[in-house]
Amino acid sequence: MSKQTKTTKTSMATDTTTQPRYNRKTLNLVVFGLIAVIALLSLTGPNTDDPSTEANGPGQIAATEHISPDINLNWQSPEVHHWVNEAGARVYFVASEQLPMLDIRMIFNAGSARDDATPGIARLTNATLAAGTNTLNATEVAAGFEQVGAQFGLGAHRDMALLRLRSLSELNHLMPALDLLANLVSAPRFPEDAVVRDKNQMLANIKHSLQQPGSIASKAFYQALYPQHPYAIPGEGSVDSIPQIQPVDLKKFHQQYYVSQNLTIALVGAISLNQAKQIANRLTRDLPAGSAAAPLPEPPPGTALKKHIEFDSNQTHILVGTTAIKRDNPDRVALILGNEILGGGALTSLLGKEIRQKRGLSYSVNSQFIPMQSQGPFQISLQTRNDQTTEALTAIHQVLTQFIDHGPTQEQLADAKRQLIGYSLFGNASNAGIVSQLGSVGFYQLPIESVFKTEREIQAVTLEQIKTAFQHYLDPEQLVIITVGASTHEAIPSHSSE
């Protein structure tokens, strides 16, 4: 990519991630009150000019409540600047003057897919960044953000690890927050006591998850979908791997992956383009250049597999799915529109009507595509009474097969389009949404012009495109089926020696 700054206009979609907060209560009340007012005005006014984004931890469009077709859709796309800075980091910036705030994401290709033989090391490295630097301890780090009213957060997923900062854009608040963020990412100390504490917390979480049928099902689902692939690595680690991780291991992981050429920076807020360039350089000033992480391997083709895991409970957790699409797949919008009809639209979806309303098998059922760096999964999930497991699986197969064979109706497609456009409108009300989506665009190295789907692009999807896409990516006879619950005479047979 050229280091010359590029500018593109585009539309946005919403960030659903959460973050720890270190801030003063009074400042938060004022700031979030202003955000709420501006969000409301941007949704109801005649000229919406504060679009934001949707990103699923990354790349999903999630189900929400029904969106009125009367919402004004004539909002303006923001101007996006993007460049590669002097240290080799990809930078994306949108100016937003409505609030005196700046939102920042620093996103590294350092998720659990990079754990290799040490499950949990990516998450532990990320979690322990805030435990102190060469000059500050954890208490001083928290106090540093608190004193300037800044919010700081961390997160690690399969594809990525990130740091989040929200600060007032006034220089006397912003500069100390930036210096602290840059220090945390470039010179973490990984103190022994903090590493032990975080390891103990992760172990406690792992042991708790072993008693949760939903967690058991999810882990088994990914291991079945991705044999011998990094996506099968449990990001939380294991009871065997976590105790083996030492501070020196975290330092090595940090030195390899927390480097400027493995970094995407997203900035949204009340600063100029020149200031954005200076901030990006400031954040990478003390980072080694390093090199970008190697591309992930392709997962093996999906094959049919049924696995039952015995668990003493009244209900059975069911996950059904297959490997599907990468984040940059050109059929993504057609698939997400189709999925909104199939199972993403909550109670109004085809799966919801058949499984909940008609048969009364489950309180809720959901389907989703999760595009990732490599082929992310398509999955259907629900819980049902143990003795209704076979009926529920039969209903899933029937609905999915019918939808793949015949596709949606014109009325169903029109409703789904209104829903997705509505998601964009709601997402376009916050800077946090914009910065999340910008970070996702940069991380997956997607063309700005194609990734932010506008109303026109959504409206252009046809019935035939949805039908063709579903037939290409989904085969109802080649699905992984995971059930976790108490066996009955109706439970599916186990095809695993586990």
pLDDT digits (tens, 9 = 90+) for 275-330: 999 999 999 999 999 999 999 999 988 899 999 999 999 999 999 999 999 999 99
Q: Which of 253, 284, 315 is the last residue of a domain?
A: 284
Q: Is residue 498 part of a domain?
A: no
Residue 104: other Cβ atoms inside 10 A: 26
Q: What percent of the chain has pLDDT over 70?
A: 80
The structure tokens 């039969």 sit at 394
Of the residues 225, 253, 284, the one at which a domain ends: 284
**Contact (Cβ atoms closer than 8 angstroms) between residue 165 and residue 93:** no
Report how far apart, in Å, the C-alpha atoms of 108 and of each of 3, 86, 122, 371, 448 are: 19, 17, 11, 18, 19
DSSP H helical ranges for 103-191:
121-128, 138-147, 171-186
Instruction: Judge contact between 266 and 150, C-beta under 8 A.
Output: no
Q: Tell me, yes or no, if the pTM score tops 0.85.
A: no
Q: Is 438 contained in some domain?
A: no
Q: Give the end of a domain, one of 252, 284, 316.
A: 284
Q: Please indicate, yes or no, if residue 440 is contained in any of the structural domains.
A: no
497 falls within a domain: no
Task: Give tens-digit pLDDT for 96-124.
Answer: 998 999 999 999 999 999 999 999 999 99
Q: Is the pLDDT of residue 198 over 60?
A: yes
Same domain, 275 and 188: yes
263 and 323: one domain? no
Q: Can you tell me the distance from the alpha carbon of 459 to that of 453, in angstroms, rounded to the nearest whole number?
A: 10
Question: Are 82 and 206 found together in one domain?
Answer: yes
**Residues 232 and 320 placed together within one structural domain of the fold:** no
The CATH number of whichever domain residue 196 belongs to comes to: 3.30.830.10
Note whether 269 and 311 are same-domain residues: no
The interaxial angle of helices 213-225 and 192-209, nearest 10 deg, is 100
Query: Residues 436-479: pLDDT tens digits?
Result: 888 998 999 988 865 455 677 788 999 999 999 999 999 999 99
Residue keyed to tokens 């330092």: 251
134 lies in the same domain as 31: yes
Is residue 417 in some structural domain? yes
In a domain, 261, yes or no: yes
**Is residue 181 situated within a structural domain?**
yes
The domain containing residue 170 runs over which residues? 6-284
**Per-position b or e across 128-142, b if 16+ CB within 10 A of its CB:** bbbbbbeebebeebe
Q: Do 385 and 416 fall within a single domain?
A: yes
Q: What is the pLDDT of residue 444?
A: 93
- Give buried/exposed letters for 409-442 (b at 16+ CB in 10 A, else e): eeebbebbbbbbbbbbbbbbbbbbbbbbbbbbbb
| Cα angle 150, 448, 429; round to 5 | 45
What is the tally of structural domains in the chain? 2
Q: Give the count of alpha carbons within 13 A of 353, CB side only.
A: 9
Amino acid at site 172: N
Same domain, 207 and 314: no
Q: What is the average per-residue pLDDT within 474-486?
A: 97
* Residue 424, pLDDT score: 66
Check whether residue 238 and residue 186 sit in a common domain.
yes
Determine how many CB atoms are found less than 10 A away from the CB of residue 125: 28
226 with 348, same domain? Answer: no
Residue type, 181: L
Shared domain for 424 and 458, answered yes or no, is: yes
Number of alpha carbons in the 13 Å side-chain half-sphere of residue 440: 29
Bridge-based pairing of strands 315-323 and 377-385 is antiparallel
Tell me whether the omega of the peptide bond preceding residue 58 falls within 30 degrees of 0, making it cis.
Answer: yes
Q: Is 35 inside any structural domain?
A: yes
Distance separating alpha carbons of residues 229 and 449, to the nearest angstrom? 31
Cβ neighbours around 295 below 10 Å, total: 9
**Is the domain of 354 the same as that of 265?**
no
The whole-angstrom separation of Cα 486 and Cα 245 is 35
